[in-house]
Amino acid sequence: MKEEEVINLSKKFNFNPLEVIPLKREASGREYWRIINDAKETIILCYLDPNEGDHENFINISNELKRNHISGVDIIHHDKQAGVTIQEDLGDKDLISIFTDDNKKELLESSLNLLIELQESEIKNLEEFSKEDLINQMSLFDKVFCQKFLNLASDKSINDLISITIDKLYQHPWVNCHFDFERRNLVLDKNNHLTVIDYQDMKKGPIGIDMAGILVDHYFEADISNIKSFLNFFSTNVKSEYSSDACFEFTRWGCIQRNLRILGTLSDLYLKKDRSFRLKDMPLILKNLIKMIPEEHSSKLFLEQEVQPLLSKTVEQL
């Protein structure tokens, strides 16, 4: 959207803008703008082209989170035809921005406590990820990331990895799954209360996908011993009796699904819509994927010897 369009939409919803500031654009196509009026009050306008999707799921889940006393986003106004929601302004303190060595442990433990609340709550009318959904998401790694983005021939070890991963995920507990539970989507609000955002894709899914989202970070190299330490915290605080070793296996296979999917999705967005804003993150996403794959699986060799060097070269040239 252009700034003028945001101003006109703001006026339509009786919020007279003094200033509008673009915040971010998500892979989903959602655009976020901060609007400031002459009284220095702020709101967030979220726009999604109605031809690409709607806000219904986000609104429904917002209401369910509120019913379960979980901090989410307050929706002030919704115009389906315009593709707009007006939301409260939570501020700019997402965990990416405020993470330090000093507060990392506290913030991750708070994030895991919030994740446990989310997983254990009764969220009505949630759909369930189908096996086909999860497989197709992972298959983007081979069909788009390898073959189209890197121009690299497929390797049968990747298909085998996908097959093993889906089998493992169906052996694990299925819970409420945010599907992108990472630092970008966790915010300390103006009262320093940890709040989850961007939950429009939530469904019932494998427990490890969100555990991987917060613990196998896209912006830090994965540290297995550190991950296991936080999983011990998770195991101690969750109501169900999961051992620390079981939690690591949940996270391992959740990470493999998640990272294969994200590498494929980011490549697809670049090739189809020229969205290059996350390409710089891809080498570390791949590196962490490799680290989480079991040592004995043959895909590790293919990824280390063939894919990793080619990805680094490709990203450098873009």
Residues 82 and 109 placed together within one structural domain of the fold: no
HSE on the CB side for 300, CA within 13 Å?
A: 9
For residue range 3-35, what is the model confidence (pLDDT) as tens digits? 999 998 888 888 889 999 999 777 778 999 999
pLDDT band at 318 (very low <50, low <70, confident <90, very high): confident
pLDDT band at 307 (very low <50, low <70, confident <90, very high): very high
Q: What is the span of the domain harbouring residue 247?
A: 95-317
Residues 157 and 199 placed together within one structural domain of the fold: yes
CA 47 to chain centre: 19
Residues 70 and 116 placed together within one structural domain of the fold: no
pLDDT for 31 equals: 93
pLDDT for 290 equals: 98
HSE on the CB side for 307, CA within 13 Å?
A: 28
Residues 120 and 9 placed together within one structural domain of the fold: no
For residue range 143-197, what is the model confidence (pLDDT) as tens digits? 999 999 999 998 999 999 999 999 999 999 999 999 999 999 999 998 999 999 9
Residue type, 72: G
For residue range 249-295, what is the model confidence (pLDDT) as tens digits? 999 999 999 999 999 999 999 999 998 989 999 999 999 999 999 99
Cα–Cα nearest to 1, from 23, 27, 16, 18:
23
pLDDT for 142 equals: 97
Q: Give the residue from 65, 88, 111 where a domain finishes.
A: 88
- Give kind and range of the element (H or E) at residue 25: strand 17-25
For residue range 113-128, what is the model confidence (pLDDT) as tens digits? 999 999 999 999 999 9
pLDDT band at 111 (very low <50, low <70, confident <90, very high): very high
Q: Are 218 and 285 in contact (CB under 8 A)?
A: yes
Residues 222 and 82 placed together within one structural domain of the fold: no
What CA–CA distance (Å, rounded) separates 20 from 62?
25
pLDDT for 201 equals: 95
CA distances, 13 to each of 6, 41, 107 (Å):
11, 14, 36
Residues 51 and 110 placed together within one structural domain of the fold: no
Q: Give the residue from 88, 109, 137 where a domain finishes.
A: 88
Residues 34 and 121 placed together within one structural domain of the fold: no
Count of structural domains, the chain? 2
Helix boundaries (H) for 17-103: 56-67, 95-98
Q: Give the residue from 88, 120, 149 where a domain finishes.
A: 88
pLDDT for 48 equals: 95
pLDDT for 14 equals: 83
pLDDT for 154 equals: 84
Total-model pTM: 0.95
Q: What is the CATH number of the domain that holds 57?
A: 3.30.200.20
Helix boundaries (H) for the chain: 3-12, 56-67, 95-98, 104-120, 131-140, 156-169, 208-215, 224-237, 244-273, 282-292, 299-302, 308-317
Please, what is the average pLDDT of the chain?
Answer: 95
pLDDT for 79 equals: 94
Residues 7 and 124 placed together within one structural domain of the fold: no
Residues 56 and 119 placed together within one structural domain of the fold: no
Q: What is the CATH number of the domain that holds 244?
A: 3.90.1200.10
For residue range 36-66, what is the model confidence (pLDDT) as tens digits? 998 889 999 999 999 999 999 999 999 999 9
Residues 157 and 226 placed together within one structural domain of the fold: yes
